């Protein structure tokens, strides 16, 4: 079944397709792709895109590598999103994105600098991240990790890292790396996510996603605390200047 997150990345890639020069499929880079579970449905819709994923956890990398085995235009690299990606030319990607990663990144400035480096001039950079760990921690251990990530980040290892990330901080990293923030969108009400998990049909989830996108202007008017609590997945969209 297609999830709200899959629909989101479908929407982002659709925009990259619209913006790519006619007849050329976009090149997209996904930093922290995990097991790349959303790739089959993405390639189903956009079979011509060129995809490069990066993942530093071996077990997730292995799963992602298995997913891309049958996809001729896709490859995965086993590495952190701080280091140059082998054989890829800087400024050659139409879209660089991450999903549910920024809140786990220990060196946000380095991570965003790397993503900006690979976006071509006029190309898109979109990082969507989750505040759920910080705002609705599901265990005492997670709560403790968030407190450490927020206040004493140096003590947490890269693999256990999690913290609250605010839009102004992300925006500052964009600006420092020549990317202009174009919009911020808010997603995934906790109840919608729970509903998505139990509902058997794709249609209601598509309607929820369409609703989310349609009311972004209204959502944006809410005070920061309210919109982050109601919509704990935040996407910062940008364009390389
Ligand atoms: C919650 S998972 C999300 C995976 C996938 N993007 C998704 O949405 O299903 C977070 C991922 O970020 C990766 N990650 C964390 N820190 C990273 C870093 N510094 N560079 C690259 N990836 C990182 C983790 O290995 C993990 O796979």
Six-digit token pair at 172? 């500052």
pLDDT at 238 over 80: yes
pLDDT tens digits for 17-76?
Answer: 999 988 889 999 999 999 999 999 999 999 999 999 999 999 999 999 999 998 989 999
Ligand 1 closest atom vs CA 56: 25
CB atoms near residue 189 (< 10 Å): 18
Domain coordinates of the chain in residue numbers? Answer: 4-132+165-240
Quote the tokens at residue 233.
């997945």
Place 199 in a pLDDT band, splitting at 50, 70 and 90.
confident
Do strands 233-240 and 119-130 pair parallel, antiparallel, or not at all (unpaired)? antiparallel
Q: How far apart are CA 167 and CA 185, in angstroms?
A: 11
Q: What percent of the chain has pLDDT over 70?
A: 100
Tokens of 229: 């609590």
Q: Distance between CA 174 and CA 68 in Å, rounded?
A: 30
Note the pTM of the prediction, 2 decimals. 0.96
Assign a CATH topology to domain 4-132+165-240.
Rossmann fold (3.40.50)
User: Hey, what are 226's tokens?
Assistant: 């309210």
Q: For residue 195, give both structure tokens.
A: 């509903």
Residues with CB under 6 A from ligand 1: 31-34, 37, 54-57, 60, 80-82, 99-101, 104-105, 111
**Choice between 202 and 146, residue whose per-residue pLDDT is larger:** 146
Mean pLDDT, residues 89-104: 98
pLDDT at 1: 60
Ligand 1 atom nearest to 111, measured from its CA: 19
Q: How far is the CA of 22 from the centre of ligand 1 (A)?
A: 32
Determine how many CB atoms are found less than 10 A away from the CB of residue 21: 7
CA of 99 to the centre of ligand 1 (A): 8
CA distance 181 to 177: 11
33 Cα–ligand 1 center, Å:
6
Contact in structure between 212 and 7 (CB atoms under 8 Å): no
Mean pLDDT across 171-195: 96
Strand partners for 96: 29, 125
For residue 112, report the distance from its CA to the centre of ligand 1, in Å.
13
Which pLDDT score is estimated for 15? Answer: 97
């Amino acid at each position: 079944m297609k999830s709200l997150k899959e629909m989101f990345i479908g929407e982002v890639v659709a925009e990259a397709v619209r913006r790519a020069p006619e007849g050329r499929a976009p090149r997209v880079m996904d930093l922290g792709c995990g097991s790349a579970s959303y790739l089959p449905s993405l390639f189903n819709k956009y079979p011509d895109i060129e995809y490069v994923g990066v993942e530093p956890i071996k077990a997730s990398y292995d799963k992602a590598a298995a997913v891309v085995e049958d996809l001729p235009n896709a490859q995965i690299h086993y590495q952190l999103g701080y280091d140059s990606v082998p054989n890829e030319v800087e400024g050659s990607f139409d879209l660089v994105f991450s999903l549910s990663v920024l809140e786990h990144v220990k060196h946000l400035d380095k991570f965003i600098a790397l993503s900006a480096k690979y976006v071509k001039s006029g190309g898109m950079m979109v990082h969507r991240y989750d505040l759920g760990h910080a705002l609705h921690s599901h265990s005492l251990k997670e709560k403790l990790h968030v407190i450490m990530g927020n206040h004493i980040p140096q003590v947490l290892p890269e693999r256990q890292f999690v913290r609250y990330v605010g839009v102004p901080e992300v925006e500052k990293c964009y600006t420092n790396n020549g990317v202009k923030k174009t919009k911020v969108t808010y997603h995934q009400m906790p109840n919608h996510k729970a509903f998505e998990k139990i509902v058997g049909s794709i249609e209601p989830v598509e309607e929820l996603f369409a609703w989310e996108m349609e009311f972004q202007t209204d959502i944006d008017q809410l005070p920061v605390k309210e919109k982050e609590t109601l919509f704990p997945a935040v996407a910062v969209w940008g364009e390389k200047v």
